């Protein structure tokens, strides 16, 4: 999903991508990712944000001549790239080479003359393109290539997976079908850039940047756009002014807390989007949440958006995951499979609640990959050791430094296949001692739980916080039960037989709700998982002979 083929050739010791073990060429997008040096997180963001500022979105009539549209727009400047997509009608994303082409275009176009409605005179970079003479012009229509902005339904995915020749290939097929495309990433940055136009009406130095799964390499088509309003660039500028014998500063309104300032800023921008934002609908201000935010739906792109104010820890988490996602192609393949699996079985849910979040689940996969021998990804402490001066960062008293240059991270010697990793992931968490131990990515090892939350995953940057505090005991038990069931299915190794019978096998078998296919068998294996007595019994078995436990729960 992240930009491909833009890296420099790798120097020695660079984080070289392993070639995806693809089912067939082209299926898994191996091409340019092999032997290229990935950009740093900051480089990608800067480049994409700049690109978005040179971009407009045009709603087009259903019948259209692509060449003529491009010719028409070219009179305002060179078009660097473009694509079409369908979202309640055809839209074209047009990226100009120069930002000032947009001003030229904006000067040349009119405002709607709606008789029934009054239009709010806010001019954005969203336009309507119309044919003056639809009947004769429609005759010149050309077949448009539409870039898909959503992934195929799970049912269709399962069918595709059945034709693969290994679990590993299945996992790369899933990754390829679900990951964000370059086009979709452009749209995500465009939405941020459009919101930034509003923010800059009040705060000319502010920027709006995406974070979370839109940028951490683990986003799937259809996931929300998390964005934050950033004033950090303003502060950098202020530092420059302090030279010399005098000191000057802005007069600014003072508020008793940062939270209050955040709420006020978000409230105003929320109102602004609601009242004047073309295509911004269902704007909800959720200002009393732990992390205040404005939710809205952006109709022209179809994205559900969450706008918050700069949260340095969340950005660092996104960058950390970006690094892990870039280090080895197995990382993303495993995360996508596990996330899809969790969604199918109702372990994750798009609404907040007592279930595991995608964020926590991703951290669990990272932790598992740190436990391999040799480890597939480094611990956060190891990444911190590689940090140089410019990577140094302390937030709220916590040292959040880690290396940003991917080429400094040594490539792993671990050559395990994804077939092994997927099965072992389920075995590992199916047998994890959640009652005693917690997951710590900084140290890369299991440590005693500091408090009694059912699932404890250390926030990598604020070491006294648990990112999965919301998860309750029944949800954790459901996760463990599903993990055990999945490990069992993968261990059966009846692939050949299942292929002959045209039954889903491997990853495909894991993406079918278990109750539907083999509910009785499953019930037997699940018996007693919620019961404290039997769990204690299993624990004592585990102490006497570690193999016994697996026998007791696995078969």
Rounded to an integer, what distance in angstroms lies between the CA atom of residue 386 and that of residue 419?
31
Contact partner at residue 279 from Mg ion, ligand GTP, none, CB < 5 to 8 Å by partner kind: none
Confirm or reject binding of residue 219 to ligand GTP (CB under 6 A).
yes
Q: What is the CA radius of gyration of the chain?
A: 26
> Which residue's entry shows tokens 């934002």?
277
CA distances from 433 to 108, 428, 438, 456, 532 (A): 66, 10, 8, 11, 14
Contact partner at residue 359 from ligand GTP, Mg ion, none, CB < 5 to 8 Å by partner kind: ligand GTP
* Region of 113-121, 206-214, 382-390, 483-491 interacting with ligand GTP (CB under 6 A): 206-214
Confirm or reject binding of residue 210 to ligand GTP (CB under 6 A).
no
Among 213, 337, 379, 475, the residue binding Mg ion under the rule CB under 5 A is: 213
Confirm or reject binding of residue 193 to Mg ion (CB under 5 A).
no
Task: Give 307 or 418: the residue with its C-beta nearer to Mg ion.
Answer: 307
* Region of 148-156, 221-229, 246-254, 419-427 interacting with Mg ion (CB under 5 A): 221-229
Among 171, 223, 266, 356, the residue binding ligand GTP under the rule CB under 6 A is: 223
534 DSSP assignment: H
Sign of CA dihedral 91, 96, 99, 103: negative
Confirm or reject binding of residue 359 to ligand GTP (CB under 6 A).
yes
Confirm or reject binding of residue 191 to ligand GTP (CB under 6 A).
no
Task: Give 212 or 300: the residue with its C-beta nearer to Mg ion.
Answer: 212
Q: Which residues pair with 447 in a beta bridge?
A: 438
Among 224, 381, 462, 494, the residue binding Mg ion under the rule CB under 5 A is: 224
CB of 185 to ligand GTP, least distance (A): 14
Confirm or reject binding of residue 358 to ligand GTP (CB under 6 A).
yes
DSSP states of 233-245 as a string?
HHHHHHHHTT-SS
17 DSSP assignment: P
Name 316's Cβ contacts closer than 8 Å, sequence gap at least 6.
393, 395, 400, 461
Query: How many other CB atoms sit within 10 Å of the CB of residue 185?
Result: 22
CB of 542 to ligand GTP, least distance (A): 30
Rounded to an integer, what distance in angstroms lies between the CA atom of residue 57 and that of residue 362?
33
Query: How many other CB atoms sit within 10 Å of the CB of residue 90?
Result: 18
* Region of 87-95, 275-283, 351-359, 414-422 interacting with ligand GTP (CB under 6 A): 351-359
Scan residues 450-469 and list those touching ligand GTP (CB under 6 A): 459, 467
DSSP states of 32-43 as a string?
GGTTEEPPPHHH
CB of 413 to ligand GTP, least distance (A): 29
Locate 168 and state its tokens: 């590993």
Chain position whose Cβ is nearest to ligand GTP: 212
Q: Give the per-residue contact string, 295-324, with ligand GTP (x = CB under 6 A; - = no).
A: ------------------xx--xx------
Query: What element of type H or E holds 79?
Result: strand 79-86
- Please give the residue ranges that form the binding site for ligand GTP (CB under 6 A): 211-213, 219, 223-224, 226, 313-314, 317-318, 357-359, 459, 467
């Amino acid at each position: 999903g992240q930009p491909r083929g833009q890296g420099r050739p790798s120097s020695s010791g660079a984080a070289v991508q392993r070639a995806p073990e693809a089912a067939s060429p082209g299926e898994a997008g191996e091409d340019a990712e092999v032997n290229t040096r990935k950009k740093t997180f900051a480089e990608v963001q800067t480049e994409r944000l700049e690109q978005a500022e040179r971009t407009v979105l045009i709603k087009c009539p259903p019948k259209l001549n692509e060449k003529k549209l491009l010719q028409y727009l070219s009179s305002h400047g060179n078009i660097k790239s473009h694509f079409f997509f369908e979202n309640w009608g055809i839209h074209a994303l047009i990226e100009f080479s120069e930002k000032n082409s947009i001003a030229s275009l904006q000067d040349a176009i009119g405002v709607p003359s709606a008789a029934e409605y009054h239009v709010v005179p806010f001019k954005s970079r969203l336009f309507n393109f119309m044919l003056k003479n639809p009947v004769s012009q429609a005759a010149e229509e050309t077949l448009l290539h539409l870039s898909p902005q959503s992934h195929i339904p799970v049912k269709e995915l399962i069918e595709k997976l059945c034709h693969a020749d290994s679990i590993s290939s299945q996992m790369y097929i899933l990754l390829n079908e679900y990951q964000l495309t370059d086009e979709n990433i452009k749209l995500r940055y465009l939405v941020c850039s459009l919101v930034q136009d509003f923010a800059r009406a009040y705060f000319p130095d502010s920027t709006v940047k995406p974070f979370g799964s839109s940028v951490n390499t683990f986003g799937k088509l259809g996931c929300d756009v998390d964005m934050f309003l950033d004033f950090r660039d303003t502060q950098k500028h202020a530092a420059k002014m302090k030279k010399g014998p005098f000191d000057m500063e802005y007069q600014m309104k003072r508020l008793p807390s940062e939270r209050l300032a955040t709420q006020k800023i978000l409230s105003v921008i929320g109102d602004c989007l609601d009242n004047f934002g073309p295509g911004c609908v269902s704007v909800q201000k959720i200002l009393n949440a732990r992390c205040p935010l404005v939710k809205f739906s952006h109709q022209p792109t179809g994205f559900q958006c969450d706008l918050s104010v700069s949260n340095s820890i969340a950005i660092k988490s996104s960058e950390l995951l970006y690094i892990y996602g870039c280090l080895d192609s197995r990382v993303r393949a495993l995360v996508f499979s596990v996330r899809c699996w969790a969604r199918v079985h109702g372990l994750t849910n798009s609404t907040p609640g007592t279930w595991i979040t995608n964020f926590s689940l991703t951290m669990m996969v990272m932790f598992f990959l740190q436990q391999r021998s040799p480890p597939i990804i480094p611990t956060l402490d190891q990444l911190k050791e590689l940090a140089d001066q410019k990577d140094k960062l302390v937030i709220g008293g916590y040292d959040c430094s880690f290396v940003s240059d991917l080429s400094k991270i040594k490539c792993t010697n671990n050559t395990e296949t994804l077939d092994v990793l997927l099965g072992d992931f389920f075995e590992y968490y199916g047998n994890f001692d959640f009652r005693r131990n917690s997951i710590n990515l900084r140290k890369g090892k299991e440590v005693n739980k500091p408090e009694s939350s059912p699932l404890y995953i250390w926030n990598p940057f604020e070491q006294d916080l648990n990112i999965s505090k919301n998860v309750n005991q029944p949800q954790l038990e459901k996760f463990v039960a599903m993990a055990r069931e999945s490990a069992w299915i993968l261990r059966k190794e009846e692939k050949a037989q299942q292929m002959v019978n045209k039954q889903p096998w491997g990853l495909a078998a894991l993406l079918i709700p278990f109750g539907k296919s083999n509910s009785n068998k499953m019930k037997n294996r699940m018996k007693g998982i919620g019961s404290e007595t039997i769990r204690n019994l299993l624990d004592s078995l585990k102490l006497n002979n570690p193999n016994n436990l697996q026998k007791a729960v696995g078969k």
